[in-house]
Structure 1
């Protein structure tokens, strides 16, 4: 697949001209944000943006309606959120949020800063499109199914499967070699991509995964890890293997108010942003965890795994997107608050199109994604019911797998 235009994925130095104003996307490798960084993001959101920090499906963050790009750049540089002007858009690294704390075959969080440093140290890798995604899965299968370009999937305490274009390549590597091999695969992608700026992802290149594997020159076994996308958001009280507690918190439609972010930062623990637009606050003792829930639950963070808010996602909609046919987020909020987002059906009906419905009539069970147009931006990789706005102002709902 070759597109006619180069990748225009936004960053901090190249803002996206959204309908409601400039949008900045800030890369957060591994989703890890330190307390002082979260404070800086909250202050920037309130003083330079619309007052919210948007969480993305790659564990990054966005600020909308940015009023002073230069000031934002300086603030992010001061707290380490913009370590490079040349490589800022290529630092797309997602990792299993609970790795090293709860379950998993290997702790992949230690690979994140090493991979990030390797990307920053290679001048040529600044040429990677901003869409390229690196994935680090600790073996539980929560990350490898996200359709990344280059990644590793733990198959033992010191063995990883090399993932290329979202599939197991058959190559097995050690933890010590994992980052070097991923970086070599990134160079291989650029070799195959050549001057074709329309090839944004590895799967855009015919037989791209096999060709990169051949360039690496590593032996390939016959065993393959079966990968699938899973919507298993870590929510609520999570007992860590070391006796401490992690808290998983959902964020309504992935939009975190600046004031709430400042309260989270006051816990003085690192925060992990997940690819499901939620948060993990790790390494808490039980008393602290209880106080965090007591304070943050009334601020609309979601600690209940059965909340209907965890069943819904949505594109930006109006007024943020000029292509959207309606204010999608207002419509989905009304659906949740009026009880029209139902629990998953254990015996779902066969997929079928549902007639056009007014926004106030849409009632759907289970995982669903609301879109303001046929592009369906932000649609998760897991099976969902698509609820898409039409030109008539109604919605067309159609259950279909990814």
Structure 2
């Protein structure tokens, strides 16, 4: 005889060390100014280390390519390989203070993000000196990836945006990135427009239900995936959400993004070259209604002349300085995984065998390796001693005679 039991739970695990203390945060600007280029993550131009206070960014030289390898080849990708520009320390500090005042006075702040905010997590940009498209144009091809796309963690900038939203200062984020780091950071989905899609998200074309995965979707270009909608009244085949070159922007995301830019009195552009149309023109919608545009990027952009403030510096450094001036603490990134526990037992010749499998909520083919051991005990059977199991699938066999099958209690 056989029976199955399924239990779901959540596990929150801090990835390496937590963020530095509040006193260290308040000294962020001074500390960051003392750090040279080798210590700081670049904007849209590199993937070097950044002083984020999160030790999980120490592997930032590793690269996550993800969907860059899946994009259709295109010769004309705009200007690539532009030189990086750096404001002097004194000028940079003055601009950081000016930006902090602009953010504080803003009634409707919208942030527009590009690849430059994710480089310090190990994800390369596209147009920088070592960007994907820059290397391809030079005949060097796509660089080797040593960090899986799904292992990239939100950066200091991602987490700062979460805190700005919680503080009521940030109303909406428009992103051109497909790395899912905004959602992983905990930023509210209803206040986020992902213009180019999400490599970790599927959508049902019929009922519009979204499925956020902890693995990268196999396809791009709005194609069918191997999975179906789990709604019992639907069951349609799911589609990926990432655009290829010829795909139009999703109307729902584009409409909300344009509406937010028209409403904004300040659009802050972070780590974007502002070259991809039609997305690059959205921030300028705020100017038509009396708003302002501020740009933080390591390279010049076609929209610089229309911006009220242009900062050439590391995005993480600029945002850390702004948060310090505003006396806002940047929260640590805490990863939350939803897990599924599958407990099964079989009875044969007065013996019972229990098997416990720990998987992600996406099914048996997605086991989770971080659970190293479990302790099994039987409160209702004093003759059965507790035991520690050390290897998945966790399996245990006991003789029960003519008694009913006892219920084990498992703990990690």
Q: Give TM-score scaled by structure 1 length.
A: 0.21
Q: Give TM-score scaled by structure 2 length.
A: 0.21
Whichever of the two has the greater Rg, that structure is: 2
